[in-house]
Amino acid sequence: EAGVAQSPRYKIIEKRQSVAFWCNPISGHATLYWYQQILGQGPKLLIQFQNNGVVDDSQLPKDRFSAERLKGVDSTLKIQPAKLEDSAVYLCASSLSGGSTDTQYFGPGTRLTVL
Amino acid sequence: GDSVTQMEGPVTLSEEAFLTINCTYTATGYPSLFWYVQYPGEGLQLLLKATKADDKGSNKGFEATYRKETTSFHLEKGSVQVSDSAVYFCALMPGGGADGLTFGKGTHLIIQP
């Protein structure tokens, strides 16, 4: 079974530029998550989708971050404009139904460096 | 809000030593508890989980017991190997399922031959 796919794996941009990340979850998984992991810290949830609807985006900085999951499968996360403090690894995860006992499967992440 | 606290690293042990990584949590209701591991150069992967009080999760020789009375989920292994060197994250998922996982800061484990 294929795992969660993410691209690109690495991205370097200047501050104030825009960037987009792509995620393809495990086939059949209804729930998709985006996390931000700053160096030396645990991942922090940015947004959770159930199919193509947003369940929780309370920690998403909506003035610069946006995310969508059209057709309930792939998802993109965008940052515009980027700030230095956005340098982090962006992780995508998926689970079968989003229940509290479900296992979340993580992709390899996209490492973003903002100069 | 919910939070997870785990022991600071790095933790350095010799091969075949006994391992304990402490994890305590704060949450309302009845969360599920998880340990994830990140090996060098790899992504996060589930190590074990427990979904209700007194449950014991186990995998690859690692164990953790969900202790509601002490709000803890300590990770243990009787005899560590060099290949166990990694960063270990304790995490919780609220009982309702929404809000995603809340992670601790991670503990870097280094096993020396």
Q: Is A15 on the interface with B (CB under 8 A)?
A: no
pLDDT in tens, B22-81: 999 999 888 999 999 999 888 899 999 999 999 999 999 999 999 999 999 999 999 999
Chain position carrying tokens 């997870």: B4
CA gap A72, A68 in Å, rounded:
9
Q: With a cut of 90, say whether residue B86 has pLDDT above it.
A: yes
Residue A2: its pLDDT value, please? Answer: 82
The residue ranges of chain A whose pLDDT is under 70 are 1
Contact A102/B at CB under 8 A = yes
- Write the CA distances from B65 to A23, A66, A81, B6, B103, integer angstroms: 33, 38, 44, 15, 17
Element (H, E) at B25: strand B23-26
The predicted pLDDT at position A52 comes to: 86
Q: Which residue has the tokens 């919780």?
A: B92
pLDDT score recorded for residue A111: 96
Is A35 within 8 Å of chain B by CB?
A: yes
B42: closest CA of chain A, how far (Å): 7
Residue B98 pLDDT > 80, yes or no? Answer: no
**B98 closest CB neighbour out of A48, A91, A109:** A48
Q: Is A42 helix (H, G, I), strand (E, B) or coil?
A: coil
- At residue B97 the predicted structure's pLDDT band, cuts being 50, 70 and 90, is low
* Residue to substitute from A104, A105, A111, interface B, most B β-carbons within 10 A: A104
Task: List chain A residues with CB under 8 Å of B93.
Answer: 100-102
- How far A59 CA sits from the closest chain B CA (Å)? 10
Any residues with CB less than 8 A from the CB of B67 and at least 6 apart, and which?
B53, B54, B73
Distance CA B7, CA B90 (A): 10
The pLDDT value recorded for residue A1 is: 66
Determine, for residues A108 and B43 on separate chains, whether the beta-carbon distance falls below 8 Å.
Answer: yes
CA of B51 vs chain A CAs: smallest distance (Å): 6
Quick one: pLDDT at residue A79? 98
pLDDT for the residue numbered A18: 97
Q: Which residue of B has its CA nearest to A60?
A: B99
CA distance A72 to B58: 33
CA torsion angle for B20, B26, B32, B38 (degrees, to 10)?
A: -50
- Model confidence over B8-34: pLDDT tens digits? 889 999 999 999 999 999 998 889 999
Q: How far is B113 from chain A (nearest CA, A)?
A: 25
Helix (H) or strand (E) holding B37: strand B32-38
CB contact under 8 A, B94 and A55: no
